[in-house]
Amino acid sequence: MSKLFVSCEEATAICNKNQYKEASFWEKMKLQIHLFICKKCGLYSKQNATITKVCNRYLDSDDHPHTLSEHDKEIMQHSIEEKIDI
């Protein structure tokens, strides 16, 4: 079993993975132990949760399909026809 005490760098890495609910049980344990003893990472963790909230609130793929303009299509069509002719 890997060590229970991790560095700030490792703890924040787990914290980031955990924002997507993809941290394992052991990773979450190590994070909790670290947060218990480290105020800096405690602050990071709290702010990271806010960032996740902000992302969930404001980042969403729009459902409108992106389309090419008729002009772009004409150019593409033209260059394909040129290559076919060769």
> 13 or 33, CB closer to other proteins?
13
Q: Does 9 bind other proteins (CB under 8 A)?
A: yes
79, burial (CB in 10 Å: exposed 0-12, middle 13-18, buried 19+): exposed
Residue 34: count of CB within 10 angstroms of its CB: 22
By the criterion CB under 8 A, which residues form the site for other proteins? 6-10, 12-13, 16-17, 19-20, 22, 40, 43-44, 47-48, 50-51, 53-55, 57-61, 65-68, 72-73, 76-77, 79-81, 83-84
